[in-house]
Copies of this chain bind each other. A is one copy, B any other.
Amino acid sequence: MANRTVTIQDVARYAGVSRTTVSDALNGTGRVSESTREAVTRAADELGYRPNTAAKSLRTSTTGTIGIHLPEAMTRIDYYLQIIFGALETAAIADVDVTLITSRRLGGNARPRVDGVIVIDPLSDDAIAQQLLDLDVPIVTLEQAPGQRPDGVVTADHEGALTELLEHLGERGARAPALLASPAVTDWGVRIQQRYREWCAGRGIPALITERPFGSAPASYAEALRDLFALRPDVDGVICGPAGSALVALDVLEDLDKQVGRDVLVAALVDSTSLVYTDPPITAIDLSPRAAGAACVEVLIDLVRGRRPRGGADVPLPIRVEYRASTAGDATSYR
């Protein structure tokens, strides 16, 4: 009842047992009789005991915290926030804290205090990867890390989804679908471009890829698209990689007097709420970011606690194409 913080010692005294027993009873470790455990639990409750995590940390050299690394360049997207919330939800259930790790934080004096790290869309840029490895804790990545072997990986079948999307565009009449690509500096970026090329090759049609660096201003995507249509007026499909570029595409196509969904089909590689209420709504691949975040945390927590993750350290993530009006096509003008 006192103002002083309640320690394990207090609980021990109150319950008439030793500190070890309290520790064992509360953590489920060691061998404690059911009656003792109950008594201890009750004592802890009554005294309002809260374990001191710093002491526990010092003793066990664990922190009860995991880190999530986000590349700062590509901050402004729904997608990341969804991943984070998925991760938070799952972490909360395991009583684990989540701290966000930016490049700048790694560059600072102190190291973040984490038991493990999740890296979202790792870049092939090694500088940060190396610093993360120096943390010397398990690493789980969302998508494969180009130059690195993480302890766990969550991956989606992007090739499958893109193929489905391309087939769909073909069915709806697009004969020359172009790709406004995200740079091939993430595994995702590489795989998308590769699959797109393969698909084009398989059809005997030219691969039309235009690319801009990460974090480019939307105006730069507009320019890329205008250049594309100037060069290849026959383009009748655009698949947009970078966040926000699909909105830009709508704008550009309107300027060019092309009707989206009929003259030109438009799709995005990353779904977001802003694609649903455009005119027309834009077909996109739902990357299930919430589930992705959750899956990463599950694998990482297993790894941290020394368990083999259920289903192994390589987890497939289901994703799907959301079909909307921007790829409706028009039977009268095509085929």
Chain B residues contacting A82 (CB-CB under 8 Å) are: 75-76
Tell me whether A89 and B108 are in contact in the complex, defined as CB-CB below 8 angstroms, given that A58-B55, A113-B97, A247-B277 are known contacts: no
A218–B273 touching, CB < 8 Å = yes
Tell me whether A54 and B65 are in contact in the complex, defined as CB-CB below 8 angstroms, given that A76-B81, A108-B93, A113-B97 are known contacts: no
B50–A111 touching, CB < 8 Å = yes
A310 beta carbon closer than 8 Å to chain B: no
Q: In the assembly, what is the distance between CA of A37 and CA of B284, in Å? A: 59
Tell me whether A97 and B105 are in contact in the complex, defined as CB-CB below 8 angstroms, given that A113-B53, A248-B277, A251-B279 are known contacts: yes
Q: In the assembly, what is the distance between CA of A113 and CA of B96, in Å? A: 10
Q: Mark A91-104, 1 if CB is under 8 A from B, else 0.
A: 11101011110101
Q: Mark A48-91, 1 if CB is under 8 A from B, else 0.
A: 00111111011001011100000010011110111011001101
Q: In the assembly, what is the distance between CA of A75 and CA of B76, in Å? A: 13
A244 beta carbon closer than 8 Å to chain B: yes
Chain B residues contacting A58 (CB-CB under 8 Å) are: 52, 54-55, 57-58
8 contacts between A and B (CB under 8 A): A50-B111, A57-B57, A57-B58, A65-B113, A76-B81, A76-B273, A247-B274, A247-B278
| A287 CB, min distance to chain B CBs, angstroms | 14
A110 beta carbon closer than 8 Å to chain B: yes
In the complex formed, the residue of B with least CB distance to A57 is B54
Q: In the assembly, what is the distance between CA of A121 and CA of B92, in Å? A: 21
